[in-house]
Structure 1
Protein backbone atom coordinates (compact mmCIF):
# COMPACT_ATOMS: atom_id res chain seq x y z
CA UNK A 1 0.00 0.00 0.00
CA UNK A 2 1.29 3.47 -0.91
CA UNK A 3 1.64 5.78 2.04
CA UNK A 4 0.43 9.34 1.54
CA UNK A 5 3.25 11.83 1.98
CA UNK A 6 2.70 15.32 3.31
CA UNK A 7 2.92 18.16 0.84
CA UNK A 8 6.20 20.06 1.10
CA UNK A 9 5.84 22.43 -1.84
CA UNK A 10 2.49 23.88 -2.91
CA UNK A 11 2.20 25.70 -6.21
CA UNK A 12 -0.50 28.37 -5.98
CA UNK A 13 -1.45 29.42 -9.50
CA UNK A 14 -3.13 32.82 -9.76
CA UNK A 15 -4.50 34.89 -12.60
CA UNK A 16 -4.49 37.95 -10.31
CA UNK A 17 -8.27 38.19 -10.68
CA UNK A 18 -10.64 39.69 -8.14
CA UNK A 19 -11.93 36.29 -7.05
CA UNK A 20 -8.62 34.64 -6.13
CA UNK A 21 -8.68 35.33 -2.38
CA UNK A 22 -10.57 32.09 -1.48
CA UNK A 23 -8.12 30.11 -3.60
CA UNK A 24 -5.14 31.68 -1.85
CA UNK A 25 -6.76 31.08 1.54
CA UNK A 26 -7.00 27.35 0.73
CA UNK A 27 -3.37 27.27 -0.38
CA UNK A 28 -2.38 28.88 2.94
CA UNK A 29 -4.44 26.43 4.95
CA UNK A 30 -2.90 23.47 3.13
CA UNK A 31 0.58 24.91 3.72
CA UNK A 32 -0.11 25.30 7.43
CA UNK A 33 -1.52 21.78 7.79
CA UNK A 34 1.43 20.20 5.97
CA UNK A 35 4.15 22.65 7.10
CA UNK A 36 4.76 23.32 3.41
CA UNK A 37 6.12 26.22 1.41
CA UNK A 38 4.04 28.06 -1.20
CA UNK A 39 5.28 29.14 -4.59
CA UNK A 40 3.01 31.86 -5.97
CA UNK A 41 2.89 31.64 -9.77
CA UNK A 42 1.25 33.88 -12.34
CA UNK A 43 1.50 32.75 -15.95
CA UNK A 44 1.24 35.43 -18.61
CA UNK A 45 -0.24 34.33 -21.91
CA UNK A 46 1.92 35.25 -24.92
CA UNK A 47 0.79 38.10 -27.16
CA UNK A 48 0.76 35.91 -30.25
CA UNK A 49 2.48 36.05 -33.60
CA UNK A 50 0.42 38.98 -34.91
CA UNK A 51 1.25 41.11 -31.89
CA UNK A 52 4.93 40.14 -32.12
CA UNK A 53 4.99 41.04 -35.82
CA UNK A 54 3.47 44.46 -35.15
CA UNK A 55 5.90 45.18 -32.30
CA UNK A 56 8.90 44.11 -34.35
CA UNK A 57 7.89 46.49 -37.14
CA UNK A 58 8.17 49.48 -34.82
CA UNK A 59 10.69 48.48 -32.15
CA UNK A 60 14.07 46.77 -32.17
CA UNK A 61 14.16 43.25 -30.64
CA UNK A 62 16.17 44.46 -27.63
CA UNK A 63 13.58 47.10 -26.81
CA UNK A 64 10.74 44.56 -27.12
CA UNK A 65 12.62 42.23 -24.76
CA UNK A 66 13.21 45.08 -22.28
CA UNK A 67 9.50 46.03 -22.34
CA UNK A 68 8.50 42.40 -21.76
CA UNK A 69 10.94 42.09 -18.84
CA UNK A 70 9.71 45.34 -17.28
CA UNK A 71 6.12 44.09 -17.57
CA UNK A 72 7.04 40.83 -15.78
CA UNK A 73 8.76 42.81 -13.01
CA UNK A 74 5.67 45.01 -12.62
CA UNK A 75 3.51 41.91 -12.25
CA UNK A 76 5.79 40.59 -9.51
CA UNK A 77 5.46 43.96 -7.76
CA UNK A 78 1.67 43.68 -8.11
CA UNK A 79 1.74 40.20 -6.55
CA UNK A 80 3.88 41.44 -3.65
CA UNK A 81 1.51 44.36 -3.11
CA UNK A 82 -1.52 42.04 -3.10
CA UNK A 83 0.24 39.79 -0.60
CA UNK A 84 0.95 42.83 1.58
CA UNK A 85 -2.72 43.88 1.38
CA UNK A 86 -3.87 40.36 2.21
CA UNK A 87 -1.55 40.35 5.20
CA UNK A 88 -2.92 43.68 6.41
CA UNK A 89 -6.51 42.43 6.14
CA UNK A 90 -5.95 38.88 7.43
CA UNK A 91 -4.08 39.27 10.74
CA UNK A 92 -3.64 35.54 11.28
CA UNK A 93 -1.57 35.29 8.11
CA UNK A 94 0.99 37.98 9.04
CA UNK A 95 2.61 35.98 11.80
CA UNK A 96 3.83 33.14 9.55
CA UNK A 97 3.99 34.75 6.11
CA UNK A 98 7.75 34.42 5.76
CA UNK A 99 7.73 30.75 6.69
CA UNK A 100 4.94 29.96 4.20
CA UNK A 101 5.78 31.92 1.04
CA UNK A 102 8.88 30.53 -0.65
CA UNK A 103 8.86 32.63 -3.82
CA UNK A 104 6.77 34.76 -6.13
CA UNK A 105 7.14 34.03 -9.84
CA UNK A 106 5.76 35.41 -13.09
CA UNK A 107 6.41 33.33 -16.18
CA UNK A 108 5.40 33.93 -19.80
CA UNK A 109 3.64 31.25 -21.82
CA UNK A 110 0.43 29.30 -22.08
CA UNK A 111 -0.88 29.32 -18.48
CA UNK A 112 -1.76 25.61 -18.22
CA UNK A 113 1.56 24.54 -19.71
CA UNK A 114 3.51 26.98 -17.54
CA UNK A 115 1.76 25.75 -14.38
CA UNK A 116 2.37 22.07 -15.10
CA UNK A 117 5.95 22.65 -16.22
CA UNK A 118 6.74 24.79 -13.18
CA UNK A 119 5.17 22.22 -10.83
CA UNK A 120 7.31 19.46 -12.31
CA UNK A 121 10.52 21.52 -12.51
CA UNK A 122 10.23 22.67 -8.88
CA UNK A 123 9.01 19.37 -7.38
CA UNK A 124 5.63 20.74 -6.30
CA UNK A 125 3.57 18.19 -4.40
CA UNK A 126 0.25 19.98 -4.94
CA UNK A 127 -1.17 22.58 -7.32
CA UNK A 128 -3.89 24.90 -5.99
CA UNK A 129 -5.86 26.68 -8.70
CA UNK A 130 -9.20 28.44 -9.08
CA UNK A 131 -11.95 26.83 -11.10
CA UNK A 132 -12.96 29.95 -13.06
CA UNK A 133 -16.30 28.36 -13.66
CA UNK A 134 -18.59 29.76 -16.26
CA UNK A 135 -22.32 29.23 -16.45
CA UNK A 136 -23.69 28.35 -19.87
CA UNK A 137 -27.24 27.13 -20.37
CA UNK A 138 -27.58 26.30 -16.66
CA UNK A 139 -24.45 24.13 -16.79
CA UNK A 140 -21.31 24.93 -14.84
CA UNK A 141 -18.17 24.58 -16.90
CA UNK A 142 -14.62 24.33 -15.64
CA UNK A 143 -12.25 26.96 -17.02
CA UNK A 144 -9.87 25.85 -19.76
CA UNK A 145 -6.70 26.44 -17.72
CA UNK A 146 -7.94 24.47 -14.70
CA UNK A 147 -9.20 21.70 -16.98
CA UNK A 148 -5.92 21.41 -18.87
CA UNK A 149 -3.84 21.53 -15.69
CA UNK A 150 -5.83 18.65 -14.17
CA UNK A 151 -5.65 16.60 -17.36
CA UNK A 152 -1.86 16.84 -17.64
CA UNK A 153 -0.62 17.27 -14.07
CA UNK A 154 1.61 14.64 -12.53
CA UNK A 155 0.74 15.82 -9.01
CA UNK A 156 -2.59 16.30 -7.23
CA UNK A 157 -4.55 19.43 -8.16
CA UNK A 158 -6.87 21.16 -5.71
CA UNK A 159 -9.48 23.18 -7.61
CA UNK A 160 -11.21 25.88 -5.58
CA UNK A 161 -14.49 27.34 -6.87
CA UNK A 162 -14.06 31.01 -7.64
CA UNK A 163 -16.57 31.56 -10.42
CA UNK A 164 -19.32 34.13 -10.58
Structure 2
Protein backbone atom coordinates (compact mmCIF):
# COMPACT_ATOMS: atom_id res chain seq x y z
CA UNK A 1 0.00 0.00 0.00
CA UNK A 2 1.47 3.38 -0.96
CA UNK A 3 2.06 6.07 1.63
CA UNK A 4 2.07 9.10 -0.74
CA UNK A 5 0.51 9.27 -4.21
CA UNK A 6 1.45 11.72 -6.94
CA UNK A 7 -1.17 12.53 -9.57
CA UNK A 8 0.09 14.69 -12.43
CA UNK A 9 -2.79 16.78 -13.76
CA UNK A 10 -3.54 18.94 -16.74
CA UNK A 11 -6.83 20.03 -18.24
CA UNK A 12 -7.59 16.67 -19.87
CA UNK A 13 -10.40 14.26 -19.06
CA UNK A 14 -7.76 11.56 -18.54
CA UNK A 15 -6.03 13.43 -15.74
CA UNK A 16 -9.42 14.08 -14.13
CA UNK A 17 -10.07 10.34 -14.30
CA UNK A 18 -6.67 9.62 -12.74
CA UNK A 19 -7.38 11.97 -9.82
CA UNK A 20 -10.86 10.53 -9.34
CA UNK A 21 -9.38 7.01 -9.33
CA UNK A 22 -6.74 7.98 -6.74
CA UNK A 23 -9.32 9.67 -4.52
CA UNK A 24 -11.73 6.75 -4.61
CA UNK A 25 -9.25 3.86 -4.47
CA UNK A 26 -6.96 5.32 -1.80
CA UNK A 27 -9.22 7.23 0.60
CA UNK A 28 -6.67 7.29 3.44
CA UNK A 29 -3.47 7.98 1.48
CA UNK A 30 -2.08 11.53 1.08
CA UNK A 31 -2.32 12.72 -2.53
CA UNK A 32 -0.43 15.48 -4.27
CA UNK A 33 -1.84 16.85 -7.54
CA UNK A 34 1.00 18.23 -9.64
CA UNK A 35 0.68 20.51 -12.65
CA UNK A 36 3.68 21.13 -14.88
CA UNK A 37 4.09 24.23 -17.00
CA UNK A 38 6.29 23.23 -19.91
CA UNK A 39 8.44 26.12 -21.26
CA UNK A 40 7.73 24.82 -24.77
CA UNK A 41 4.04 25.49 -24.14
CA UNK A 42 4.82 28.99 -22.86
CA UNK A 43 6.45 30.01 -26.10
CA UNK A 44 3.72 28.25 -28.06
CA UNK A 45 6.01 26.74 -30.65
CA UNK A 46 7.41 30.14 -31.67
CA UNK A 47 11.18 30.49 -31.91
CA UNK A 48 12.43 31.87 -28.60
CA UNK A 49 14.41 34.57 -30.40
CA UNK A 50 11.18 36.01 -31.82
CA UNK A 51 9.51 36.32 -28.41
CA UNK A 52 10.19 39.54 -26.51
CA UNK A 53 10.83 39.25 -22.76
CA UNK A 54 7.54 41.07 -22.11
CA UNK A 55 5.61 38.70 -24.38
CA UNK A 56 7.24 35.69 -22.75
CA UNK A 57 6.33 37.00 -19.29
CA UNK A 58 2.73 37.55 -20.43
CA UNK A 59 2.55 34.02 -21.86
CA UNK A 60 4.05 32.61 -18.67
CA UNK A 61 1.55 34.56 -16.56
CA UNK A 62 -1.30 33.14 -18.67
CA UNK A 63 0.05 29.62 -18.17
CA UNK A 64 0.39 30.20 -14.42
CA UNK A 65 -3.21 31.50 -14.23
CA UNK A 66 -4.42 28.42 -16.11
CA UNK A 67 -2.39 26.20 -13.75
CA UNK A 68 -3.99 27.83 -10.71
CA UNK A 69 -7.43 27.08 -12.16
CA UNK A 70 -6.48 23.46 -12.91
CA UNK A 71 -5.23 23.02 -9.33
CA UNK A 72 -8.36 24.71 -7.93
CA UNK A 73 -10.49 22.30 -9.95
CA UNK A 74 -8.49 19.40 -8.50
CA UNK A 75 -9.18 20.65 -4.98
CA UNK A 76 -12.91 20.90 -5.80
CA UNK A 77 -12.83 17.30 -7.04
CA UNK A 78 -11.17 16.26 -3.77
CA UNK A 79 -13.86 18.16 -1.82
CA UNK A 80 -16.50 16.11 -3.64
CA UNK A 81 -14.80 13.01 -2.21
CA UNK A 82 -14.62 14.70 1.22
CA UNK A 83 -10.85 14.78 0.96
CA UNK A 84 -8.10 17.34 1.04
CA UNK A 85 -5.11 17.12 -1.26
CA UNK A 86 -1.87 18.98 -1.67
CA UNK A 87 -1.33 20.82 -4.93
CA UNK A 88 1.94 21.81 -6.51
CA UNK A 89 3.05 23.52 -9.68
CA UNK A 90 6.42 23.30 -11.45
CA UNK A 91 7.99 24.72 -14.58
CA UNK A 92 9.95 22.22 -16.63
CA UNK A 93 9.71 19.40 -19.10
CA UNK A 94 6.72 17.30 -18.16
CA UNK A 95 8.20 13.80 -17.86
CA UNK A 96 11.38 14.91 -16.13
CA UNK A 97 9.48 17.13 -13.69
CA UNK A 98 7.06 14.35 -12.72
CA UNK A 99 9.93 11.94 -12.01
CA UNK A 100 11.93 14.61 -10.17
CA UNK A 101 8.95 15.58 -8.01
CA UNK A 102 8.13 11.97 -7.13
CA UNK A 103 11.73 11.30 -6.18
CA UNK A 104 12.20 14.51 -4.22
CA UNK A 105 8.92 14.35 -2.30
CA UNK A 106 8.86 10.67 -1.31
CA UNK A 107 5.93 9.75 -3.54
CA UNK A 108 5.85 5.98 -3.73
CA UNK A 109 3.17 5.68 -6.43
CA UNK A 110 2.26 7.75 -9.48
CA UNK A 111 -1.26 7.63 -10.88
CA UNK A 112 -1.41 9.24 -14.30
CA UNK A 113 -4.01 9.58 -17.02
CA UNK A 114 -3.27 8.15 -20.42
CA UNK A 115 -2.83 10.59 -23.28
CA UNK A 116 -2.83 13.66 -21.05
CA UNK A 117 -1.12 15.77 -23.69
CA UNK A 118 -2.97 16.76 -26.81
CA UNK A 119 -2.23 18.00 -30.30
CA UNK A 120 1.16 18.19 -31.93
CA UNK A 121 3.07 17.68 -28.68
CA UNK A 122 1.38 14.27 -28.23
CA UNK A 123 2.35 13.21 -31.74
CA UNK A 124 5.87 14.58 -31.61
CA UNK A 125 6.76 13.68 -28.04
CA UNK A 126 4.85 10.45 -27.54
CA UNK A 127 2.82 9.57 -24.51
CA UNK A 128 3.87 11.24 -21.28
CA UNK A 129 2.34 8.34 -19.38
CA UNK A 130 4.49 5.91 -21.32
CA UNK A 131 7.67 7.89 -20.68
CA UNK A 132 6.89 8.26 -16.98
CA UNK A 133 6.21 4.54 -16.72
CA UNK A 134 9.54 3.67 -18.35
CA UNK A 135 11.58 6.11 -16.24
CA UNK A 136 9.84 6.10 -12.88
CA UNK A 137 11.62 4.64 -9.86
CA UNK A 138 8.20 3.95 -8.27
CA UNK A 139 5.13 2.03 -9.48
CA UNK A 140 2.92 3.83 -12.00
CA UNK A 141 -0.78 3.26 -12.55
CA UNK A 142 -2.14 4.48 -15.88
CA UNK A 143 -5.84 5.35 -15.88
CA UNK A 144 -7.72 5.36 -19.19
TM-score, length of structure 2 as denominator length? 0.75
Match of 1:38 in 2: 31
CA-based RMSD? 2.6
Match of 1:17 in 2: 12
Describe how 1:136-155 pairs up with structure 2 within 5 A. Answer: 144-155=127-138
Number of residue-to-residue matches in the alignment: 132
Q: Is the 8 A contact 2:38 2:93 kept in 1?
A: yes
Q: Is the 8 A contact 2:9 2:16 kept in 1?
A: no
Match of 2:23 in 1: 28
Please give the alpha-carbon distance, in whole angstroms, between the structure 2 residues aligned to 1:159 and 1:84. 21
Return structure 1 stretches of 4+ with deviation > 4 angstroms.
none
Describe how 1:34-113 pairs up with structure 2 within 5 A. Answer: 35-47=28-40, 50-55=46-51, 59-60=52-53, 63=54, 66-67=57-58, 70-83=61-74, 85-86=76-77, 90=80, 93=81, 95=82, 97-98=83-84, 101-102=85-86, 104-113=87-96
The structure with higher relative contact order (CA 8 Å, sep 6+) is 2
Q: Which segments of 5 or more consecutive residues in structure 1 lack a partner in the other structure?
A: 1-5, 134-142
2:113 aligned to which of 130, 137, 152: 130
Shift of 1:155: 0.4
Q: Which segments of 5 or more consecutive residues in structure 2 lack a partner in the other structure?
A: 117-125
Q: Matched residue of 2:13: which SS? A: coil
Residues 31, 151 of structure 1: alpha-carbon distance in 2 compared, 3 angstrom cutoff: same
Q: Is the 8 A contact 1:72 1:106 kept in 2?
A: no
Please give the alpha-carbon distance, in whole angstroms, between the structure 2 residues aligned to 1:159 and 1:126. 11
Residues 160, 75 of structure 1: alpha-carbon distance in 2 compared, 3 angstrom cutoff: same
Residues 122, 144 of structure 1: alpha-carbon distance in 2 compared, 3 angstrom cutoff: same
